[in-house]
Structure 1
Amino acid sequence: MTQHHDPALAADIDAACRLTGEFTLRSGQQATEYFDKYLFEAQPALLDRVATAMVGLLPGGTELLGGLELGGVPIATMVSAKTGLPTLFVRKKAKEYGTCKLAEGPEVAGRTITLIEDVITTGGAVRDATKALRDAGAIVRTVVCAIDRSPADVNPLADVDLEVRPVLTKAQLDAARDQA
């Protein structure tokens, strides 16, 4: 895997989606900054650049892309279109009607799934999805995310033995902001 950092992409993503104010994160943490990923995901050209960067981060042996509800789904769909890998749409909780499935799409048992997420802070949603998919027989070793805002040099998902491969880190976005 080569982590090729694109300063222009960092600057454009930062400009598009960094908000300042008072925010409560999914983890319950309070923050004065928030990365609203929908502000880049809604822009086709930016979404395309993030997806292109993700293609190079996918581990060999990936059989399925697991897009996490909601923000991971458009990214995974675009990565799927670029790679030909089928996509699984992973809910935050299993549907209570119809198929009652947590993951919509192909069968997961025995298959290697690379998760696709938008922003990771503590990795709560990714951790839940990893456990549920492993319980269903899937092999889950890696998550590729657009933005990793967890502390530098800390893998927030080490406890579930999951490698995090980010397109951009908070440090790279901060550097882009500081150079703006």
Structure 2
Amino acid sequence: MSSIEPQGSTTPTNDADTLAADIDACCRLRGEFTLRSGQVASEYFDKYLFESDPALLARVAARMVHLLPAGTELLGGLEMGGIPIVTVLSADTGLPALFVRKKAKEYGTCKLAEGPDVEGRRITLVEDVLTTGGAVRDATRALRERGAIVEVVVCAIDRSPGEENPLADVGIDVRPVLTRAQLDAARAAS
């Protein structure tokens, strides 16, 4: 099993408040945006802006290293937002990455998770933003059906409402780098 210490990361670890402020400044857009629900909003949080910024992505991954549980054998990045994060996290820790699809592809290898075999392996899921936990819940069930041991998700941002774990029903511990409250505090301070 590989170590869970950063290998070669030269990015200094910033405190959570500074990281929250930097991500909020990068990702919170103002204008007119049509949301998935059809509603129009004057603000939009574009999570892909921090994932496409090498410096911010490295800072998020560096903070995730310390959230990984002991015994993690594979890192499972969820399609699509978890893929860039899991790639950097894998490089930082030396742990193999999986790229977990929303559904198994219907051709070729017909895999749900691209990468090493998952059966009997302890997988920590990696997600960018968690709100209701639907994608994590689906991935957890599908990976468990394939014999994987899945008990933890690390996420860049936990935007779930309230203080309750949205994934308690499937026995998943949520370990966020940042929370909605930290991003809201960063916005209020700016």
Q: Deviations over 1:95-142 (max 9, x none)?
A: 111001100100101110000000011011110000000000000000
Residue 162 of structure 1 pairs with residue 186 of structure 2: no
Distance verdict in 2 for CA 1:169–1:125, change over 3 Å: same
Contact 1:152/1:171 (CA < 8 Å) preserved in 2?
A: no
Q: TM-score, normalized by length of structure 1?
A: 0.91
SS in 2 for 1:172: helix
- Give the C-alpha shift of residue 151 in structure 1: 1.3
Unpaired segments ≥5 residues, structure 2: 1-13
Residue 44 of structure 1 pairs with residue 54 of structure 2: yes
- State the percentage of identical aligned residues: 72
Matches within 5 A, 1:115-130: 115-130=125-140
Contact 1:66/1:115 (CA < 8 Å) preserved in 2?
A: yes
- Give the C-alpha shift of residue 36 in structure 1: 1.6
* One-letter amino acid of the counterpart of residue 35, structure 2: F
Distance verdict in 2 for CA 1:84–1:149, change over 3 Å: same
- Give the C-alpha shift of residue 62 in structure 1: 0.5
Distance verdict in 2 for CA 1:114–1:34, change over 3 Å: farther
What is the number of equivalent residue pairs in this alignment? 174
Measure the CA separation in 2 of the matches of 1:31 and 1:126: 27
Distance verdict in 2 for CA 1:131–1:29, change over 3 Å: farther
Equivalent residue for 1:144? 154
Distance verdict in 2 for CA 1:173–1:29, change over 3 Å: farther
Measure the CA separation in 1 of the matches of 2:121 and 2:88: 21
CA RMSD of aligned residues (A): 1.8
Equivalent residue for 2:35? 23
Higher CA-based Rg: 2
Residue 134 of structure 1 pairs with residue 144 of structure 2: yes
> Which of 18, 25, 37 is the aligned partner of 1:8?
18
Measure the CA separation in 1 of the matches of 2:170 and 2:120: 18
> Which of 56, 79, 83 is the aligned partner of 1:69?
79
Distance verdict in 2 for CA 1:29–1:103, change over 3 Å: farther
SS in 1 for 2:151: strand
Residue 81 of structure 1 pairs with residue 91 of structure 2: yes
* One-letter amino acid of the counterpart of residue 153, structure 1: E
* One-letter amino acid of the counterpart of residue 97, structure 1: Y
- Give the C-alpha shift of residue 29 in structure 1: 9.8
Measure the CA separation in 2 of the matches of 1:179 and 1:158: 32
